[in-house]
Amino acid sequence: MGKNCVIVGGGIIGLFTAYYLFKDGHKVTILDKGGMNGGASFVNAGYITPSHIIPLSSPGIITKGLKWMLNNRSPFYVKPRLDNNFLKWAWSFKKSSTQSHVNRAIPILKDISFFSRELYEDLKRSQDFAFTYERNGLLMCFKTARGEEEEAKIADIASNEGMKIRHISAKELNEQFPKANYKVKGAFFYDTDAHMTPDEFMKQMRAFLEANGVRIIKNASVSDFEVSGNRLTAVKTREKSFQADEVILASGTWTPEMARKLNLSVSIEAGKGYSFNIYRDIGVVLPSVLTEAKVAVTPMNGFTRFAGTMELGGINDVINPIRVEAIADAAENHFNDLKITSEEKIGARAGLRPCSPDGLPYIGRSRKWKNLSIGAGHSMIGWSLGPATGKLISEVIACKKPSIALEPFSPDRKF
């Protein structure tokens, strides 16, 4: 018999959770505090990245972060602030930035990433949707010898995990893609990765869910929860109370706020990213990460997207034109003859990535509440791991053995 499931959050994680719960025969309601037309699920680079197996919290990132802290054009910008939650997160992040943690995280991230890619491809074959999905691989482009050295180390790790990686010289790159006219030293090509057009998919998924009876309520800020013993019985907004057999927190960077209402501590910091689109052919055929600048370039359905930066400055949606300019400058420095116009930069949007301290998402039950699940904290790979997260939560709710071991993703884990 199906359960009455209420999902708090209508981003990529919330929608995929709703999709798999609907497929299992449950009644589903999604409550989203916004209009479901912006944020990280819409402005991201659209990557499905089994190649991204190194967590954000890794050796050397603290040193880089300190160097970049006062430079608001840097790829990883931390705005210093005396906030207790941020300071706790930063301390946990520092403790997680060890080689032993990276070594433990690599197979975990690899397994869930490949599982998620398989689910995307199952979805594409299902013909429930007509979204753009291209599995053409990914170029990790470098401009310097130091950049090449760093990428070579990562490529070796990925190769040891069974991935196929090929080194490509600048000459080969421009012979293969002459119109793009790369201005780089070379690249490493990963054949494992795919890409999509996020805006397109989000609209299709929402339309599919609504057409199949999933209730989606926008501009519905959750104010509280009703409880009985160790179970949640309802989710309350200012206007209405929604009865629930199961509650799922998929609220991205707002998850800690929701969790505190339930006396839970979920450590997440908002990492703002920016993107803008170019609606002209610049010759970029393969998704390309400009590694030193941490900028992603993605050919999407009708346009090319430039996305990047990680800005830890709290929850806000302010567009910093200096950060946008840094992405545009990086693009122009990596492609000969490319010039980003002021009109294209004005179209920039921002989204908040929910970053956990150890670079692993929170997926699964909380021990405190029998019928509460959490899917949040995916950092920069939320789009990539959306299907896996939704599927795993649906398996938990159905009391099935999870397709991937959930212990590393426990919402109750300590740092």
Output the tens digit of pLDDT for each of the chain's 415 residues.
699 999 999 999 999 999 999 999 999 999 999 999 999 999 999 999 999 999 988 887 766 666 666 677 777 777 777 888 999 998 999 999 999 999 999 999 999 999 999 999 999 999 889 999 999 999 999 999 999 999 999 999 999 999 999 999 999 999 999 999 999 999 999 999 999 999 999 999 999 999 999 999 999 999 999 999 999 999 999 999 999 999 999 999 999 999 999 999 999 999 999 999 999 999 999 999 999 999 999 999 999 999 998 888 899 989 999 999 999 999 999 999 899 999 999 999 999 999 999 999 999 999 999 999 999 999 999 999 999 999 999 999 999 999 999 999 999 998 8
Query: CA-CA distance, 384 to 368, in Å (whole number)?
Result: 29
Q: Is residue 208 part of a domain?
A: yes
Surface-to-core class of residue 19, CB atoms within 10 Å of its CB (0-12 exposed, 13-18 middle, 19+ buried): buried
Q: pLDDT value at position 199? A: 96
Query: CA-CA distance, 21 to 54, in Å (whole number)?
Result: 30
Q: In the numeric block, which tokens belong to residue 44?
A: 């991201």
Least Cα distance to 123 among 219, 236, 38, 23 occurs for 23
Q: Is residue 59 part of a domain?
A: yes
Dihedral, 390, 395, 397, 399 alpha carbons, nearest 10:
-170
Q: Is 190:113 a contact under the CB 8 Å cutoff?
A: no
Q: Is residue 368 part of a domain?
A: yes
Sequence-ordered strand ranges (E) for 19-164: 27-31, 47-48, 76-78, 133-134, 138-142
Query: CA-CA distance, 297 to 363, in Å (whole number)?
Result: 29
DSSP H or E segment with residue 346: helix 342-346
Domain CATH for 250: 3.50.50.60
Q: Is 342:325 a contact under the CB 8 Å cutoff?
A: no
Number of domains composing the chain: 1
Query: CA-CA distance, 84 to 89, in Å (whole number)?
Result: 9
Whole-structure pTM value: 0.96
Q: In the numeric block, which tokens belong to residue 162?
A: 């069974």
Range of the structural domain that residue 93 is part of: 4-409
Alpha carbon 39 to its chain centroid, in Å, reads 11
Instruction: Count the Cβ atoms, other than its own, within 10 Å of residue 304.
Output: 21
Alpha carbon 306 to its chain centroid, in Å, reads 16
Q: Is 6:242 a contact under the CB 8 Å cutoff?
A: yes
Name the maximum alpha-carbon separation found in the chain.
66
Q: pLDDT value at position 62? A: 66
DSSP H or E segment with residue 65: helix 61-68
Query: CA-CA distance, 271 to 314, in Å (whole number)?
Result: 8
Q: In the numeric block, which tokens belong to residue 286?
A: 């393969």
Q: Is residue 111 part of a domain?
A: yes
Q: What counts of helices (H) and strands (E) characterise the chain?
A: 12, 21
Q: Is residue 414 part of a domain?
A: no
Q: pLDDT value at position 262? A: 97
**Which residues does residue 288 pair with via DSSP β-bridges, in sequence order?**
139, 297
